[in-house]
Amino acid sequence: MKIFFLLIIALVSSWLKANERPNIIIILTDDLGWGDVSYHGGYIPTPNIDQLAQDGMEMNRFYANPVCSPTRASLLTGLHIFNHGVVRPFMNPAAEQTGMPPEIKIMPQYLKEAGYQTALSGKWHLGMANEKFLPTNRGFETSYGHLTGGIGYFDHTAAGRLDWHRNEKSLVEEGYSTELIANEAINIIENKDKNRPLFLYIAFNAPHTPIQAPDKNIESFSYLEDKKDRVYAANVNALDHEIGRIIKAIENKGILKETIIIFFSDNGPVFDIDPIVKVIAPNLVNARGSTAGLRGSKVSALEGGIRVPAVIWWKGKIENSKSEQFFFVQDLLPTLLTAVDIEVDNAKFDGRDKWKNLITNEITPPINALVGARVISDERALFDGEWKLYSAKPQLIPVSPSYSLFNIIEDPFETNDLSENEPEIFESMKKILTSLPEKDVVGDMNPAHSYLHGDDRQGGTELGSPWLEGDYELNPPPSIFLSILITIWILILAFKEYLLALLVIILTSVIFFKFIRKS
């Protein structure tokens, strides 16, 4: 009997502790650039995001990985890319059958065990070919939205098939995806379990390509001359509107003071994309993102690809401030676990617990923090103190990596490579960067395979059956010989302007020398 009462007391104590924990709401945008928000001087009005930055703590040194799946994996695992192995975006399940390693415990699992209600509204992009990769098998009690990388905003399709679901059951639903994702999030907030704190992960697909927006939003930007500029501005502005609705729903529910709100982008904007990537993913040319002068863009580990707009707000505790604390996406899991009083051995994470830094606004320099991705180029950035070591190595050409060293505090636009001026720092950081064990669960991107079967390849005008029905044939990578031929064709398309210029120079030279010989 005594044991029974002790058990009851323990269960009640656990319930009371869980009920005292704050809610966590993460709002993640897709390809929103540093210069795409008006509080950074962007031309697109984002009043709700601006207000969030004003009310909360503007995180001025927040770093993501330069592409989507790696950032999402780092957010949820607390690990850098070479420890969770998601080194590049996943393609559709007909092209590859991989996903985020299911043996790694992730954020919703930690929180669910601690008594949280867990929900996902929006983009997953961490694997869908096998049930073990799906959100509801990874700690989310409910999930809604899409599972691949980029969908049509109105038809909710990816690579020629429907990709829209509720709890991993295909769902045919009308509406603009940005609004639908917000509607689901608001419904979850309004109907929150009264007996449990809420963890809500809202992952918008905006402003990822294909860039689309409702006509009424586009019309409000009629003063912009370029049509693509108008559509992009309307897309971002619509995203801002829905974020405002979510914040209002939290206020109306009366849970603002007991809710930690985090907002950030998964990587930099589509701005100055590698020409090979443009051939493989032609939709990217329609994006109009801005880095506000930072070098690089999506897929690059230069600042434009990894330094993203970010805010954290906990009314009454973290508000009305701006932080220069270096904060990396893998820091979020250990930091949030401390914030909600869940004891975990932080040694298992690459990210660092920076809750104290957020509460006190004290600055702790980064210690060998890594972000990066391996797409067409293997791009990495290692941060140590004020130093950033940047590395880039093309995947298609057998060359050694190039390195640059920047004092990233004094030189945020990366104009002055100090690798020769600071040889000891350079060699020390290079040794660390090149000696990292490299787990890889997705493999190097095969440009030929992506060109034939990637997410931008629709495979005809008729839609196939929904992805989640599994009624599709696998598309293995082409043979080595065919891969070489297709890759050569991709290179020709990517650099046709340079090849044409070279051809003109050669022909001009031949004609000139023939003329000289005749004369």
pLDDT by residue (tens digit) across 418-460?
Answer: 999 999 999 999 999 999 999 999 988 888 899 888 887 655 5
Read off the pLDDT of each residue in 290-318 and give the average, rounded to a whole number.
97
Neighbours of 427 (CB within 10 A): 12
CB 59 within 8 A of CB 354: no
3-class state of residue 30 by DSSP: coil
Please determine, for residue 15, whether its predicted confidence score (pLDDT) is greater than 50.
no
Computed on alpha carbons and rounded to an integer, the radius of gyration of the chain in Å comes to: 24
Alpha carbon distance 466, 4 (integer Å): 50
Torsion of CA 192, 196, 199, 204, to 10 degrees: -10
DSSP E strand boundaries for 124-236: 142-146, 157-158, 161-162, 165-166, 169-170, 198-203
CB 236 within 8 A of CB 207: yes
Q: Residue 223 has which token pair?
A: 């003063």
Q: What digits encode the pLDDT tens for the residues 333-383?
A: 999 999 999 999 999 999 999 999 999 999 999 999 999 999 989 999 999
Q: What is the pLDDT of residue 17?
A: 57
Q: What is the pLDDT of residue 93?
A: 94
Q: What digits encode the pLDDT tens for the residues 312-326?
A: 999 999 999 999 999
Q: What digits encode the pLDDT tens for the residues 176-206?
A: 999 999 999 999 999 999 999 999 999 999 9
Burial readout 99-138 (b: 16 or more C-beta within 10 A, e: otherwise)? bbbeebbbbbebbbebbbbbbbbbbbbbbbbeeebbbeeb
pTM for the full predicted model: 0.93
Sign of CA dihedral 215, 218, 220, 224: negative
Alpha carbon distance 429, 406 (integer Å): 12
> 16, exposed or middle or buried, with CB in 10 Å at 0-12, 13-18, 19+?
exposed
Q: What is the pLDDT of residue 10?
A: 41
Of the pLDDT bands very low, low, confident and very high (cuts 50, 70, 90), residue 274 is confident
Angle (nearest 5°) at CA 151 between 150 and 154: 150
